[in-house]
């Protein structure tokens, strides 16, 4: 099967998958008792019965399930994700507003976790039973097992309260006046604690995997040969062994990306980071079906595109990998 055929078949699968995601989630939202009229009443501190009814009529919540579903799918087919019941804004707009903050947090945390994880993994692989190795394992497993909201609060108490080095919440200090560099620096200062919190979870995965693959590589013949040639230790480790040890780590990092995004939901909540995670969290609580479905739609799209690219890249890199029969 050639490249274009693969792409076509994959795209058709992708569309079917997206539809399934929407129908399934729509049905699940519908099964849950109560609706957005209740949460609007909650935000208002109560509402009279006729107001509740008016909200349900306005949003078509009084219509039969299949009518609601049909309308929604029809809109999505026309690339219209609809209006948020809760915020009364177009869903696409709501999501696009929040996306940059989440991408910034997720990418920086992922990069930090990768860099630090690989470094720690390499260090501990060289003396697998030394004190350093045990220490690295301890730190990594601690970060992995501690819930992120707890780690977040702990960091806040330490570095925003005891040592007042970092701000408590948000992404920027609106009272700061200054040019581009001042504002960029301000965002960086706000980013550090949430980034560390989110990275702490994934640090363990990357450092443990690097450690394991490095140990394996260090026992191979080519490493022995390199030492025999008289190559310095650093060069052997960082230039030869590490290169070969990295590829499974990068594969894992790709697989973990969706997990990082879902981890961001809690981190964003603790640090009031104005991203998609906070939006997803508040929309679920508010039963804001169009927004939740919109976020799921976007997430599914990102995952599908990611998988597609991975498949295609693999096929390009290694022709032995077959089609998708």
Partner 1 sequence: MRHIFKDLMAATALASIVATASYADEPKKGGTLVTVLGSNVRNLNSAVQSGIVTGFPGAQLFASPLRYDENWEPQPYLAESWETSKDGLTVTLNLVKNAKFHDGTPLTSADVAFSVEVIKANHPFKSMFAPVETVETPDAHTAVLKLAKPHPALMLAMSGQLMSIIPKHIYGDGEITDVKAHPRNNENVVGSGPFKLVEFKNGEHVILERFDDFFIDGRPYLDKIVMRIITDPAARAIAYENGELHMGAFESLPRIINRLKGVDSLTVTADGYGAIGPLDWLAMNTSKGPLSNVKVRKAIAYAVDKNFISKAIMQGTASDSTTGIHPDSPFYAAQDGYDLDLKKAAELLDEAGFPVKDGTRMSLTIDFGWPGVKPQVEYVKAALKKVDINVEVRSSADFPTWAKKMGTGDFDLSWDTVFNWGDPVIGVHRTYDSSNILKGVWSNTQSYSNARVDELMAMAAVETDDAKRKALYAEFQAIIADEVPVYHTNTLPYHTVYNTEKVGNPPIGIWGTSTPIDMTYLK
- Cβ within 8 Å of residue 83, ≥6 positions away: 89, 90, 91, 290
Applying the rule CB under 8 A, the residues between 255 and 274 that interact with partner 1 are: 269-272, 274
- C-alpha span between 191 and 100 (Å, rounded): 13
Q: How many residues bind partner 1 (CB under 8 A)?
A: 51
316 counts as binding partner 1 under rule CB under 8 A: no
Q: Which of 4, 131, 161, 228 binds partner 1 (CB under 8 A)?
A: 161
Three-state helix/strand/coil letters over 173-192: CCCCCCCHHHHHHHHHHHHH
Measured between alpha carbons, how far is 203 from 198 in angstroms, rounded to an integer? 9
Report if residue 104 touches partner 1, rule: CB under 8 A: no
- CB nearer to partner 1: pick between 137 and 272: 272
Minimum separation from the CB atom of position 242 to partner 1 (A)? 39
Asked if 99 is part of the footprint of partner 1 (rule: CB under 8 A), the reply reads: no
Residues 105-144 that bind partner 1 (CB under 8 A): none
Strands (E), the chain: none
The β-bridge partners of 83 are 90
Residue 143 CB-density burial (10 A; 0-12 exposed, 13-18 middle, 19+ buried): buried
User: Per rule CB under 8 A, is residue 285 in the interface with partner 1?
Assistant: yes
The least CB distance from residue 194 to partner 1, in Å, is 11
Half-sphere CA count of 246, side-chain side, radius 13 A: 11
Question: Hey, which residues does 90 pair with through a beta bridge?
Answer: 83
Nearest approach in angstroms of CB 75 to partner 1 is 18
Tell which one of 61, 104, 141, 169 touches partner 1 (CB under 8 A). Answer: 169
Q: Which is closer to partner 1, CB of 190 or CB of 208?
A: 190
Q: Is residue 98 part of the contact set for partner 1 (CB under 8 A)?
A: yes
Take residue 105 and report the two structure tokens written for it. Answer: 């947090």
Comparing CB distances to partner 1, the nearer of 95 and 205 is 95
57, 310 Cβ separation under 8 angstroms: no
Identified binder of partner 1 from the candidate list 17, 18, 41, 300, rule CB under 8 A: 41
Where does this chain touch partner 1 (CB under 8 A) — which range of 37-45, 109-117, 136-144, 197-205?
Answer: 37-45
Could you give the C-alpha distances from 32 to 25, 101, 174, 199, 285, in angstroms and in order?
Answer: 11, 30, 39, 34, 12
- 231 lies in the binding site for partner 1 (CB under 8 A): no
Q: Which is nearer to partner 1, 37 or 196 (CB)?
A: 37
- Provide the 10 A C-beta neighbour count for residue 46: 7
From 44-52, 71-79, 211-219, 302-310, span contacting partner 1 (CB under 8 A): 44-52
Task: Identify the residue among 79, 174, 228, 317 touching partner 1 (CB under 8 A).
Answer: 174
Structural contact between residues 183 and 96, judged by C-beta atoms closer than 8 angstroms: no
Which residues of this protein are in contact with partner 1, per CB under 8 A?
32-52, 86-89, 98, 153, 156-157, 160-161, 164, 167-172, 174-175, 269-272, 274, 278-279, 282, 284-285, 287
């Amino acid at each position: 099967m050639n490249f274009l055929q693969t792409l076509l078949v994959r795209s058709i699968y992708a569309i079917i998958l997206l539809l399934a995601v929407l129908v399934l989630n729509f049905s699940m939202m519908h099964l849950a008792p109560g609706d957005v009229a209740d949460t609007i009443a909650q935000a208002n501190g109560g509402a009279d019965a006729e107001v509740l009814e008016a909200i349900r009529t306005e949003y078509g919540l009084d219509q039969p399930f299949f009518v609601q579903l049909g309308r929604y799918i029809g809109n999505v087919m026309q690339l219209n994700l609809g209006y948020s019941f809760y915020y009364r804004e177009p869903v696409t707009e709501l999501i696009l507003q929040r996306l940059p903050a989440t991408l910034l947090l997720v990418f920086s945390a992922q990069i930090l976790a990768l860099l630090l994880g690989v470094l720690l993994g390499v260090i501990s692989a060289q003396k697998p039973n030394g004190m350093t190795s045990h220490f690295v394992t301890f730190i990594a497993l601690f970060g992995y097992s501690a819930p992120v909201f707890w780690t977040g609060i702990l960091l806040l108490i330490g570095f925003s309260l005891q040592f007042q080095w970092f701000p408590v919440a948000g992404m920027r200090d609106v009272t700061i006046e200054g040019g581009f560099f001042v504002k960029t620096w301000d965002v960086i200062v706000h980013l550090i604690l949430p980034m560390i919190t989110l990275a702490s979870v994934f640090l363990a995965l990357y450092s443990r995997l690097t450690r394991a693959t490095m140990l394996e590589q260090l026992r191979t013949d080519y490493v022995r040969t390199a030492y025999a040639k008289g190559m310095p230790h650093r060069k052997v480790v960082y230039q030869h062994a590490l290169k070969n040890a990295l590829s499974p780590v990068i594969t894992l990092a790709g697989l973990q990306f969706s997990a990082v995004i879902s981890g961001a939901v809690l981190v964003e909540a603790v640090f009031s980071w104005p991203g998609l995670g906070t939006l997803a969290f508040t929309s679920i609580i508010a039963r804001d079906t169009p927004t939740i479905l919109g976020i799921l739609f976007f997430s599914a799209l990102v995952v599908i595109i990611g998988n597609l690219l991975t498949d295609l890249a693999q096929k390009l890199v290694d022709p032995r990998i077959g089609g998708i029969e």
